[in-house]
Amino acid sequence: MKQKRKINIALDGHASTGKSTTAKALARRLGYIYVDTGAMYRAVTLYALENGWIGPGFFYRERLIDALNGLDIGFRYNAETGTSETFLNGRNVEALIRRPEVADYVSQVAAVPEVRRKLVEIQQQIARQGGVVMDGRDIGTVVMPDAELKVFMTASPEVRARRRYDEMRSKGEEVDFEQVLRNVHQRDRIDSTRKASPLRRAEGARLLDNSNMSIPEQIDLILSWVDEVLGKE
Ligand code: DC
């Protein structure tokens, strides 16, 4: 049987819609490479925080922009856990970039055009090999506008806040639901209204509202879309 061609899949959408869980599962099922672009923006944010360039009420953008060329951001596969982990200048920062301090500042860092330019370049280089599932906010619009399959994922803010809240509670974190909901609204607003690559549904992207869908259901739906795309070839 002829080996099926590998396509590229762009997965965009709002925060806490299960993009990364879905993208990881798709990559595993298809034997594709998973690229978590949010992790890259988080790694740059961590770098800015560690250098004291961003904090409550201040952001020394120019310092960060000057340092961008020296930044080495990438992924390495961890065979033990079966996942790929984020590396910043040779250091494994996978756990650090998931911390709430990083989440608090990442939208500001992701709004800097120079940061986006640098990260998009790395992402496009990875996409050139094909067989990539990439999730983020501008994948279908900017990074891979030619991806064979583009999906825009959304769910109601309350459903997304509930998922985020449950996730944080399960890690033993003390959180307040109203605060999580405010954070969801705030991130939506910043991500959709920023000047540089605002979050929007790409032309030709299929809409997936998963407010009332389980993760396995959405994975199956996207896999059926992959079959549809490959069947047309
Ligand atoms: O998906 P995430 O929560 O890890 O993303 C972290 C932040 O990075 C989020 O505020 C949006 C931003 N981001 C972006 O602007 N462009 C991307 N391609 C991916 C993430």
Instruction: Characterize 91-109 residue by residue with b for buried, 16 or more Cβ atoms within 10 angstroms of its Cβ, and e for exposed.
Output: eebbebbeeeebbbbbbbb
- pLDDT at residue 168, rounded to an integer: 87
pLDDT in tens, 21-43: 999 999 999 999 999 999 999 99
**pLDDT band of 3, cuts 50, 70, 90:** low
For ligand 1, atom 16, name the residue with the nearest CA: 137
Which of 16, 37, 41, 46 has most ligand 1 atoms within 8 Å of CB, for mutation? Answer: 41
Give the span between the Cα atoms of 22 and 133, in whole angstroms. 10
What is the rounded distance in angstroms from the CA atom of residue 166 to the CA atom of residue 160? 10
Nearest CA to ligand 1 atom 8: 38
Bridge partners of 59? 54
Q: Which fold has domain 9-226?
A: Rossmann fold (3.40.50)
Question: In angstroms, rounded to a whole number, what is the distance separating the alpha carbons of residues 165 and 159?
Answer: 10
Domain ranges for the chain:
9-226
If we measure between CA atoms, which residue out of 196, 201, 49, 19 comes closest to residue 116?
196
What residue owns the CA closest to ligand 1's atom 1?
38
Kindly report whether the global pTM for this prediction surpasses the value 0.85.
Answer: yes
